[in-house]
Structure 1
Amino acid sequence: MTADFTKDYLHRDLRELREVMLWKLDGLSEYDVRRPLTSTGTNLLGLVKHLSLWESRYFGEVFGRPFPEPLPRWDEDAGQGADLWVTEHETREEIIARYRRAGEHADATITALTLDSPGHVPWWPRPDVKLFNILVHLLTETSRHAGHADILREQLDDSTGTTAEYATDRTDAALRDAHRAKIERAAAAAAAVAAAATDKD
């Protein structure tokens, strides 16, 4: 397996995951893309904002190729979670456009460098890295947030899937409810067995 093949493979997966993140916003209201759906405030548009910042940073300053737009310092607002939610003054269009620009900038860095090109991440305990490390890190990070987005979108309108082509049919609510009830019964039965075993001890 060649280094070029490895880089192309990882890069392609990262580009696909970016599109997944944006697709999760399709068809939702301004409120629904911004509303906090977990106790810690996780929301769909905030995840996209977060990824745009960190792609800009990791494929920018880490390799001496700074993103051409201002970014908050890595040890200031972003560290306090300001990059994980969207104010009323920021538009969905601005956040999406920034994510696309961050992706284009990252793509240019990935294309220009080899997998063993050196970089420096001052906020990591072992700051000296290669492009390979950063590609894997961002692929992992974006996959993690795509998983968050899957669950958030399902909470909003029962939509699941990674693209419109693979979206789950949401029309059969009875089938979905029966499936959920079956899982609930299994969980309750397992809890009863565990409780009985504890009582015997």
Structure 2
Amino acid sequence: MAETDHTECLHRYLRYARDSLLWKLEDLSEYDIRRPMTPTGTNLLGLVKHLGMIELGYLGLVFGRHFDEHVPWFGPTGLLRDLDPSTMEADFDMWATPEESREDVIGLYRRAWEHADATVAELAPEAVGRVPWWPDKRNPVTLHLILTHVVAETQRHLGHADIVREMLDGAVGSRRDNDNMPTDDRRWWEEHRARLEDAARRAGQR
């Protein structure tokens, strides 16, 4: 890939982040993938649900490419184009109800990929769209700008997923085929953490 192909470069980073996010849910129970691990409720399946909405909105609706599949949490009609955020519960897309299965949420996320990928493939980087939920001064937008935004959003939430998964069962790593960790020796990590704790305490006593 030529380094000048900025769209493909961004798209590659998006695909990497998508796969890594879903890896964070593997081998966990239904309870653990939904379990709120922060005071604001951050949970793994909710991150997947949220990012599905992000891709369908930014890399679909913004460019007039509607996703016409009926999805219950999109509102009364089940269509994203009719979603009225003012009538929705706050953070409705950041958690899954007991009725929404893992397969439902992950399946929608994968179909959102396909919808978004078609937008990236079929439109030029300079293609113009409009983000209805952004102020007028930030519109219109280009596909290149929005793809950059979606990559940043996905990577940000992947970082949340990294921390949530480590809090759940201690599993770490950036991806299945390369965890990017210096060692898996538990004693090394215990000593390393103790060293950091000592450094923090001594700095705090200055």
Corresponding position of 2:159: 147
Q: Which consecutive aligned stretches of 4+ in structure 1 deviate over 4 angstroms post-superposition?
A: 168-171
**Residue 60 (str. 1) matches residue 73 (str. 2):** no
CA distance in 1, matches of 2:171, 2:88: 30
In structure 1, stretches of 5+ residues that fail to align are 194-201
- Answer yes or no: is the 8 Å Cα contact 1:159–1:170 preserved in 2: no
CA distance in 2, matches of 1:112, 1:191: 55
Q: What secondary structure does 2:67 align onto? A: coil
Where do 1:7-26 residues align within 5 Å?
7-26=7-26
Which of the two has greater helix per residue? Answer: 1
Number of equivalences:
193
Q: What secondary structure does 1:80 align onto? A: coil
Per-residue deviation, 1:113: 0.3
CA distance in 1, matches of 2:153, 2:88: 16
Change (3 A) 1:130 1:3: farther
Q: What secondary structure does 2:129 align onto? A: strand
Structure 2 counterpart of 1:157, from 169, 187, 206: 169
Q: Root-mean-square deviation (CA), in Å?
A: 2.1
Corresponding position of 1:178: 191
**Residue 114 (str. 1) matches residue 163 (str. 2):** no
Question: Structure 1 stretch 137-146 or stretch 119-128: which is displaced more?
Answer: 119-128
What TM-score does the superposition give when structure 1 sets the normalisation length?
0.90
- Answer yes or no: is the 8 Å Cα contact 1:153–1:160 preserved in 2: yes
CA distance in 1, matches of 2:84, 2:3: 30
Q: Deviations over 1:68-103 (max 9, x none)?
A: 222262523667100000100000011111000000
Per-residue deviation, 1:127: 2.5
CA distance in 2, matches of 1:8, 1:63: 19
Corresponding position of 1:37: 37
CA distance in 1, matches of 2:167, 2:34: 13
Per-residue deviation, 1:30: 0.7
Per-residue deviation, 1:173: 2.1
Corresponding position of 1:96: 106
In structure 2, stretches of 5+ residues that fail to align are 70-78
- Answer yes or no: is the 8 Å Cα contact 1:59–1:106 preserved in 2: yes
Change (3 A) 1:56 1:46: same
Corresponding position of 2:147: 135
Q: What secondary structure does 1:165 align onto? A: coil
